[in-house]
Every structure is written in C-alpha cells, then in structure tokens.
Amino acid sequence: MELARLLRKGDISAREITESVFGRIGEREETINAFITTTREIAFKQAKEADARFRQGGDIPLLTGIPVAVKDLLCTKGIKTTCGSKILENFVPTYNATAVKNVLDAGAVLVGKTNMDEFGMGSSTENSIMGPTKNPLDPKRVAGGSSGGSAAAVSSAESILALGTDTGGSIRQPSAFCGVTGIKPTYGRVSRYGLISYASSLDQIGAIGKTVEDCAMMLDVICGHDPLDTTSANVAKPDFKAAIKEDLEGIRIGIPEEFFSEGLDSRIKEKVLTAIGLMEKNGARVVPINLPHSPYAVSTYYLIATAEASSNLARYDGVKYGFRNGVDMADCMEMYEKTRTEGFGMEVKRRIMLGTYVLSAGYYDAYYLKAQKARTLIKEDFDEAFKTVDCIMTPVSPCLPFTLGEKMTDPLQMYLVDIYTVSLNLAGLPGMSLPCGTVDDLPVGLQIVGNHFDEEMVLRVGAAYERIAFSNRNHNHGI
Ligand code: GLN
C-alpha cells in the first residue's frame, strides 16, 4: 500500500493521514452516513503514537498509522457497539473483538464504528436505526449491505481500510456496490470472538480496502488461531502479501453456468465475462463447471440463517443488555415482550419469527433439517468443482446498486440480491469482490471464490487481474 510506503519514507505522517480522513468525514458524512460513531480523539492519539514509532524507526507493522473503520457489530472496548439496533443503542463492551485487538495492536488508527443493517440482516444498510448509508458514487442509491457503512467509508475516503462481517454476502456485495475490494475469508480463518452473532455457522469477519493489496495487508493481521473462539481453525497462516506477486499462468478458472443464467442483468454479465476473458488472454484457462444445487442456495440460507438468528437473539431480553422497556419487574413476561417488540426493527422480528417457526416441533424436519441437507449438497458441489479448477468466478450481485427504498417493501426481492454470495457462506469458502468495470457509471463486482483456506489463490488471481486491467486501461485510454 502506497501510504505504508510513504509513512516509512517520512513523506507523510500518520497525523496528516488522519486529518485527511476526518476532513473527508466533515465534507461527506452528512450525505453518506457511513458511521454510527466516529472516534476522533482516539484516532489522533493513536496517530501520534504511530508517528512516534516511525521517528524511532525499526521494524514497524504495516498497518501502523493506517486509518481503519470497524463495523458496529464488532465489540470495541469502551466504545459503543450498537449493531444498528435500538436494543443495543447504549451498549458499551468491556473488551475488544480479537480482530479489532489485532488491528489495534498492529498500530492502526481507529476512525470509528460503521453503519450496518440491524444485526447484519439486510442487503442495503437501510435496516439501521441510524438511517440508511448512501452510496458515495450516487447518494440516491444504496451502499449495499449489511456492511454498507464500511464499504462506503472506504469508497468515500472517510477511511482507508475497514473491517466488515459477512454472513451471506455482507462484505462482498457492499464492496461491489461501492466500487471497492472486499474479502470474506474461509470460515474459521478469523476469530469470531467479540463478533455479535447473527448466524454463527455462517458469520465471518473480513477486510475492505481499495485494492487487493490493502485486503491482503489486513488479512495478515486479522487471521490466525484464537483459543477464545472454538470454531477458529488451528491452521498455519500464510504470508498473504507474498501471494499477490504471482501471475495467472496455468490458473484454471471455473465458470459455473448456474451463476450466469436467468435473473442476471445482462450488462453485469458482459462486464464479468470480459474481465474473465482478459485473464484468459493472460495465461489463465477457463473451465466451464456446474454447481447443480445453486438454485437452492437462497432458500437454504434463509432457513439456516434465520434459525440461528432466532436462537442467538434470544439473549436480548431487557435484563442482560442495553435497552429495556417496562420497569414493572413484577411482570417479567410483559417486560420481555415490550423490550423485544420495541427494541428490534421489522426485519429482525420477521427473521426471529421465521427462524422460530422452522425450528419448531413439527416443522423442524420439513424445513431446518432439509436445509441442512441441502447445505451439504451445496458444499459437495464446490468440493467436486475444486477437483478440476483452482478458483471459481461469478458476478457478486445480479443487479446494480438500486435506489433507496426500491426493495424495502418486498423482502423476497431483497433476499434475491444475495443469490451469488450466500453459497460461499453455506460452504464455508473464501471469496472476494473486486471492481471489474462500470455500467452507467455504477460499479460492477467480480467474485473470485477459492477452495477452503486458499485465500492465497483468491488474492493472487485478484491482484493479477488488477495489474492487467490497470495497465490495459492506461494503454487504451492513457489515464
Ligand atoms: N443479506 C444477507 C442477509 O440479510 C447477508 C447479510 C450478511 O452477510 N450479514 O442475511
């Protein structure tokens, strides 16, 4: 990353970078609404510490002095963590999520906590008690979701990097909508300790930046085994930054037919296929594949995610955390009911009800168990595909960033936006969204999917594409 290099040469200070980021927040935030909380004082203090380290010299972690925004679903010690919900409006955690701790230990500057769909439930960041985040590239449009605040903050230069979470696409889809790069690592690669759970078997923390290198830098810091999370994988952490230097020679790219058919905006299809064609010209080999159970991914996801959510969100009862409605403790049931009725937004309540229903006796076998079986089949499709390919490429979203309010009255339309992203969470696979062109000045995202724990391949292919696409653009348009 250019900024890390400039900091080391002394050409720029962490204070100056922090000033620029807060300058942008001053100019843009009223329109964009990327943040729920900004942490200006903390940021300048951290920047000062970073500059002191640079003056001392020696071996300094790459993230030192770099501004990072954190999704408001990751616990930050002493800083409000709301999940975009009234029920956690005044919740101040007593500890940092492991990913946050790692980023801060590496010397990063915390810009603030970013806006999101309540508890991560949504695809547009319109389900936030703080109001929607707008797309910096066209404020009449949504930023995507649920990590819309994180993607918008990076896109508008209100931050340099951001942490997001991805349960069914929430890093990749907003990255695509805001024209930035975002990666969801393999399930288990990053500790979920301190991530406020939505659907625990699907949730994963990841990185958003302008480039693949930015994401690799962040992954180097946040990945790794953590005894505080029992699902954290005890596997060796590769040097992600090293992976991005290699080219595309001999790489086999799988193109799943099911991801390019009905429902996909033809202009998006063309951009994605053009990007893949460019990679083919530069040494990669395209292999048509099938992921036959993909048509079941959205329904499978919405059964499993809501089932897990209904259980995870049972803890918000007005007793243990945040908001409480009703002081008459003589009637606890009434207090629970009032608290949850008023504390949760519409979409969260819809999902709790759906999840409770699919787990209830009599419906469990027909819905939840069936969904678990479908999940296995979806994963097996990918296992089979990865026997013959090194990575898989698809669009991120079937549509361009839509206008605010456009899909709010029809939840099913909103759920369908996740059609190309949810399979990866169901299968636990890593995936990245990176910009591959524009349609009517709106960005299009290319999704690169890797095998389990093969983020290196995803990053390598993504970085190689960036190099080719940029040199191509320079060549063609002289930019
Ligand atoms: N849009 C999906 C949902 O609403 C995914 C959200 C996410 O990844 N957190 O569940």
Residue 244 has pLDDT above 50, yes or no: yes
CA 304 – ligand 1 centroid, Å:
12
Q: How confident is residue 475, by pLDDT bands cut at 50, 70 and 90?
A: very low
Residue 196 has pLDDT above 80, yes or no: yes
**CA atoms of 191 and 22, how far apart (whole Å):** 29
Stretch (H or E) spanning 4: helix 2-9
Query: What mean pLDDT, rounded, does the chain reach?
Result: 95
Ligand 1: which atom is nearest the Cα of residue 120?
A: 9
* Nearby residues of 410 by Cβ (< 8 Å), 6 or more positions away: none
Ligand 1: which atom is nearest the Cα of residue 121?
A: 4
Q: Is the CB of 121 under 6 A from ligand 1?
A: yes
CA 171 – ligand 1 centroid, Å:
9
The angle subtended at Cα 214 by Cα 162 and Cα 110, nearest 5°, is: 35
Task: Calculate mean pLDDT across residues 406-416.
Answer: 93
Task: Calculate mean pLDDT across residues 163-184.
Answer: 98
Q: Is the CB of 169 under 6 A from ligand 1?
A: yes
pTM across the whole model: 0.97
Residue 437 has pLDDT above 90, yes or no: yes
Q: How confident is residue 316, by pLDDT bands cut at 50, 70 and 90?
A: very high
Q: Judge contact between 288 and 370, C-beta under 8 A.
A: no
Stretch (H or E) spanning 304: helix 297-312
**CA atoms of 345 and 398, how far apart (whole Å):** 27
Among 121, 142, 202, 205, the mutation site with the greatest number of ligand 1 atoms within 8 A of its Cβ is: 121
Q: Is the CB of 122 under 6 A from ligand 1?
A: yes
Among 73, 165, 167, the mutation site with the greatest number of ligand 1 atoms within 8 A of its Cβ is: 167
pLDDT in tens, 354-378: 999 999 999 999 999 999 999 999 9
Among 73, 123, 198, the mutation site with the greatest number of ligand 1 atoms within 8 A of its Cβ is: 123
CA 334 – ligand 1 centroid, Å:
31
Residue 474 has pLDDT above 90, yes or no: no
pLDDT in tens, 140-149: 999 999 999 9
Q: How confident is residue 331, by pLDDT bands cut at 50, 70 and 90?
A: confident
CA 254 – ligand 1 centroid, Å:
25
Q: Which residues does the annotation mark as catalytic?
A: 71, 146, 170
Residue 479 has pLDDT above 70, yes or no: no
CA 326 – ligand 1 centroid, Å:
31
CA 223 to chain centre: 15
Q: How confident is residue 329, by pLDDT bands cut at 50, 70 and 90?
A: low
What pLDDT was estimated at residue 478?
34
Q: What burial class does residue 471 get, using C-beta atoms within 10 Å of its C-beta: 0-12 exposed, 13-18 middle, 19+ buried? A: exposed
Q: Is the CB of 167 under 6 A from ligand 1?
A: yes
CA 166 – ligand 1 centroid, Å:
7
What pLDDT was estimated at residue 332?
86
Domains of the chain: 2-293+383-476 (3.90.1300.10)
pLDDT in tens, 273-303: 999 999 999 999 999 999 999 999 999 999 9
* Residue nearest (by alpha carbon) to ligand 1 atom 5: 168
**CA atoms of 429 and 463, how far apart (whole Å):** 19
* Percent of the chain whose pLDDT exceeds 90: 92
